[in-house]
Amino acid sequence: MITLNQNSQTPIYDQIKLGLKGLVKKGLLKPGDAAPSIRKMASDLKVNPNTVARAYRELTAEGFFESLRGQENIISPRAGSLAEHAARRVSESLETALKGAMESGFSWTEVEKMIAALKRKLL
């Protein structure tokens, strides 16, 4: 389901959160579905269950998960919209940045080069 990049600078729990959010965005996980148990997720990913537990805690705090009918870690109805929110926010930030670049006189090719360099820096 989720793949982790051990070498990434992103903490593992963050990658898990992003991975789950991505699944909801793609529609593979729908609101009302139960997320995989901590144990199963940890086993599948070969990570410390505490890490998974931390990811789940933060997702619950963010409202991505909810407890329903005594079960924990159910995808909440807001999950989809949260994902979309996040996507929209990223899109808006990019748009602002790119617009600024264009107005400063950078060509599209130069912007692409900058993105490539940043990609190397950040990942």
Q: Measured from the CB atom, is 44 or 92 closer to another protein?
A: 44
CA distances for 63 relative to 31, 32, 115, angstroms: 12, 13, 32
Joined tokens for residue 70? 């005594």
CB 14 within 8 A of CB 72: no
Rounded to an integer, what distance in angstroms lies between the CA atom of residue 51 and that of residue 20? 14
Instruction: Figure out which of the listed residues 30, 48, 90, 95 binds another protein, where binding follows CB under 8 A.
Output: 48
Residue 42 binding another protein, by CB under 8 A: yes
We find the least distance from the C-beta atom of residue 18 to another protein, in angstroms, to be: 14
Binding site for another protein (CB under 8 A): 4, 6-12, 38-39, 42-43, 45-51, 120-121, 123
